[in-house]
Structure 1
Amino acid sequence: MIVVFDAQCLLCNGWVKFLLRHDRKGVFRYASIQGTAGQTLLSQANLKVEGLETLLLIDGPRIWQHTGAIFRVLGALGWPWRLAWIGWLVPVQVRDPLYRLLARNRYRVFGRLDECAMPPADYKVRFLD
């Protein structure tokens, strides 16, 4: 599974650090939207970096966005993170607009890096760019 994320966003970087720490089986690979691999994956999903309001999870032929991507990622981490699947009970018409609101304001609320964050050396092999 590939997680495509914004490497300039502090919230997104925190999410990736969380995943690196809790993905003990090494299920996930990572691609930043600023990198070549990330750009290619976004293009294949018909998404553009400008105005992007989602995390992208690519699982073989399936592509997940917004809260669906988050729940899939947490489910793949196993227990206790799989309990987040209870969030599926909240209608998508409520979940995803709230997610997009946070995504639209992520730089203002959490901050932005001037340059893309570099992956930790011991995890570099899990990053596509």
Structure 2
Amino acid sequence: MNGKTEDPVLLFDGVCNLCDGSVKFILRNEKNSDLKFAAIQSEAGQKLLSQKSIDPEQIDSVILIKGGKVYTESDAVLNVTKFLRFPYSLCNILRIVPKPVRNFFYKKVASNRYRWFGKRDSCMMPTPNLKNRFLK
């Protein structure tokens, strides 16, 4: 794996079009280049899941690992907004919505993501200038 262990890492479904589009959106709109990425299907993604004792078969979510903590579902998404420039960082205000309500809508989208947004045959390949942002 490249990247320091303390780097925040966003694990995402590498074959999901919604997830792929979300990663591209983050890369275009982030404040700094602090966040690293790994497809859940990648060797690095599988290793991180194992290290954090997360069953890959139970994953229907993006996962953010930051400061040794694991964030899933709407908590992961809202924590990612802290890496974004204004006005997207304002989405963090959605924390006022109770977590069960946020996660209900998150799970609805997550469980329908392939049907609504489609699926790829393979994980996206980062461009050469972004290669250092993706764990192998």
**What range describes the TM-score normalised by the shorter chain of this pair?**
over 0.9
Unmatched 5+ stretches in structure 2: 1-7
Letter in 2 for 1:26: S
Letter in 1 for 2:24: K
Partner of 1:25: 32
Partner of 1:124: 131
Q: Partner of 1:105: helix, strand, or coil?
A: helix
How far the C-alpha of 1:44 sits from its partner, in A, is 2.6
Question: Does 2:94 match 1:99?
Answer: no
Aligned residues with identical type, % of pairs: 40
- Aligned ranges for residues 74-89 of structure 1 at < 5 Å? 74-89=81-96
Partner of 1:45: 52
How far the C-alpha of 1:45 sits from its partner, in A, is 2.9
How far the C-alpha of 1:31 sits from its partner, in A, is 0.6
Question: Does 2:76 match 1:69?
Answer: yes
Q: 1:38 to 1:65 in 2, by over 3 A?
A: same
Q: What TM-score, normalized to structure 2?
A: 0.88
CA–CA separation in structure 2 for the residues paired with 1:9 and 1:69? 17
- 1:16-71 alpha-carbon deviations (Å, 9 max, x no partner): 00111112410110011111110111123332332421110011211111111111
Question: Does 2:63 match 1:56?
Answer: yes
Instruction: Provide the aligned length of Structure 1 versus Structure 2.
Output: 129
How far the C-alpha of 1:82 sits from its partner, in A, is 1.8
User: Contact 2:29–2:85 at 8 Å: present in 1 too?
Assistant: no
Partner of 2:3: none
User: Contact 2:31–2:85 at 8 Å: present in 1 too?
Assistant: no
User: Contact 2:62–2:72 at 8 Å: present in 1 too?
Assistant: yes
Letter in 1 for 2:110: A
* Runs of 4+ more than 3 Å apart: none
Partner of 2:4: none
